[in-house]
Amino acid sequence: MLARKLPSIFGLVLVLTTGLATQNREPLYICVNDTATINLGMGFTICDAIPTEALTNRLDKDHLQRRPGALITKVIDAGVAQLAGLQPDDVVYRIGGVNVDNKEAATIQLQRIERTADTVVNFLRDGRPYLVRVRQP
């Protein structure tokens, strides 16, 4: 297991993954439609994610994961999401230990993040699982 440290306004943020992210340019997830939502000052925009044929073709060969979730389409500079290491094309699939399979479920869970406690956000980047700890500003 690989552990990476990313800078954060909260001190140290630890990112764990079961493998190294690839530099693949072909999208593995896309938005269900063009409707996206901005989440509660966390500094990113999401939409409902659906896997692409590229992901389906690479699942077994590259040992990638497919999960329902919310696709990050934009990350605001110096926002909580960027400082935690989240990036566009990441797929958020669990927040605070609760699986989220769309933008509405993700929004509900993000509203539950308290200012006094760190919350784990699990996501896929290039089909590989990661996690970060975030706290509302």
Q: Does 9 have pLDDT greater than 70?
A: no
Residue-number span of the structural domain to which 118 is assigned: 2-18+26-134
In terms of residues, how long is the chain?
Answer: 137
Instruction: State the pTM of this model.
Output: 0.79
pLDDT in tens, 81-124: 899 999 999 999 999 999 999 999 999 998 888 778 889 999 99
pLDDT in tens, 25-63: 789 999 988 766 766 678 899 999 999 999 999 999 999
Task: State how far the Cα of 39 lies from the Cα of 51, in Å rounded to an integer.
Answer: 22
Q: Is 46 exposed, middle or buried (0-12, 13-18, 19+ CB in 10 A)?
A: buried
Count of domains observed in the chain: 1
What CATH number did the domain enclosing 74 receive?
2.30.42.10
Largest CA distance in the chain: 42
- Average pLDDT value for residue range 119-133: 96
